[in-house]
Structure formats: C-alpha cells, structure tokens
Amino acid sequence: MAKAKKQKLKVDPAEAEARLLKILPILKKTYPKAKIALNWENPWNLLVAVILSAQCTDVRVNIVTEDLFKKYKKPEDYLAVEPEELEQDIRPTGFYRNKAKNIRGAAKKVIEDFNGSVPKTMEELLTLPGAGRKTANCILGNAYGVPGITCDTHVIRLSRRLGLSTNSDPVKLEFDLMEIVPKRKFGGWTMFSHFIIWHGRNICKARKPDCENCPIAKHCPSANDPELW
C-alpha cells in the first residue's frame, strides 16, 4: 500500500508574525556577530563577490576575491583586460564565462550611467547585468544600510520550516516576509537574513536539522519533522 502524502500546512500571516517576534530575539542573542560571509571593502567589490557567489560557496568566492580585488581595484579595471583574462581569474567559482560577462556589463553600466559608483536604489540596481532582487537587497542592506531581505537558499528553506511562508520562489517569498518581518526592530530586514542564514548553516541544515540543539525549536512548527513544510 502506497504511503499517504503528508498534508502540507498553511500559513496564517498573523500567527507567522507572532511566531517571528518570539524567534528573532533568540536568534539575535544566539548569533550576535551574524554578518555577510563574503569579504568586501566597498560596494563595487561586494557586487562582484555576490555575482561570483551564484552556484558557488562563499568560502571559494573569498579565496578567489583575495587576489582578484588586488588586481582589479575599480570597475574600469575589469574592462581594461580581455574577457578571457577575467574568465581565467574567476574560473574556480564556476560558470565563469557568464559571470565575467555580467561583471564587465555591470562595470560598463556603473561607469556610464552612475558615475562609477554602485547605485543605491533597488530600481537602479536591477538595471545592472547579473543583479536580481537578491543581489540588490544584499548590496542595499550591507553596503548602504537600506533594509532589504536577501532570499537565498537558507532563507527559503527556513522560512518554510518556520511556517513564515509556503513560497519557494525568492521574489514571492521576499514580499511575504516583508509583510511580517520588522523592518528595523531586532536589526531589521537585513539582519533577519543574516540570522536565518547563520542558523541554516549551523543548526537547521538542509539534510539533517539539529532540532535537539535548536534554540528556537519550541517555536518551530516543524521541529523534529522538517519535511512537514
């Protein structure tokens, strides 16, 4: 006899918000040093690092950018070499041809349309090659202090497990979370992303979440049953 499919739960926004207000203080206390894992010194470097991080670990990106940022110090430098040279410099991050194309395209756009500076609005950031809402929110929140929710794989996974949203589409999820995550309290939208990402890497892992040692398990609707969502 075939095993019956487990019934997926539904999200009540009011309940999700109430749950989140209990969870956030705990995560803030648990991860007081939470921050973006990518190394960067200025908004342009952060943009390059985020582009390189697609389908690549932050650890590997940081290894590559250690030398990359010494060789290429400003957007113009990425256009001063042949595309093939840049491709080889970023090859270890994977998908290097497309990433090199996006980096050079973003450099050209930044120079020609934004006077050499990475723009500070969502609308303008989305005009850059290789920049979607996740990248834009990462830049805004970390480089410019503008609240933004970065919906990476950890945020998608934990938002479902915590019963905050059933959406796995990052854009739809972002808008769901914007309705219930405090924009500034407990570090706001940007720190919410960092807390969730750190918790996803340390405790609530994809294959085997450590519910026994999870500080927010008592508030988690899928504790000890991660496939519920």
| Distance in angstroms (rounded) separating the CA atoms of residues 21 and 14 | 11
Tell which of 143, 175, 204 closes a domain. Answer: 143
Here the CATH number for the domain that contains residue 218 is 1.10.1670.10
Hey, which residues are catalytic here? 134, 152
Residue 152 in domain: yes
Q: Structural domain tally of the chain? A: 2
Tell whether 131 and 109 lie within a shared domain.
Answer: yes
End position of a domain, from candidates 124, 143, 162: 143
Residue 6 lies in a domain: no
Q: Is 174 left (phi over 0), alpha (psi -120 to 50) or beta?
A: alpha
180 and 206 co-located in one domain = yes
Tell whether 106 and 179 lie within a shared domain.
no
CATH code where residue 77 lies:
1.10.340.30
- List Cβ<8 Å contacts ≥24 apart for 203-206: 204/154, 204/157, 204/158, 204/161, 206/153, 206/157
- What pLDDT sits at residue 224? 84
Q: Is 3 part of any domain? A: no
50 and 127 co-located in one domain: yes
Q: What is the pLDDT of residues 165-209, one digit of tens each?
A: 999 999 999 999 999 999 999 999 999 999 999 999 999 999 999
Query: At which residue do the structure tokens 């705990």 appear?
Result: 26
pLDDT, tens digit (0-9, with 9 covering 90-100), for 114-127: 999 999 999 999 99
Does the structure show a pLDDT above 90 at 1? no
pLDDT at 5 over 80: no
pLDDT at 227: 66
Q: Which of 95, 118, 96 is nearest to 44 (CA)?
A: 118
Indicate whether 122 belongs to any domain: yes
Residue 225's pLDDT is 79
Residues spanned by the domain of 219 = 13-34+148-228
Residue 66: helix, strand or coil by DSSP? helix
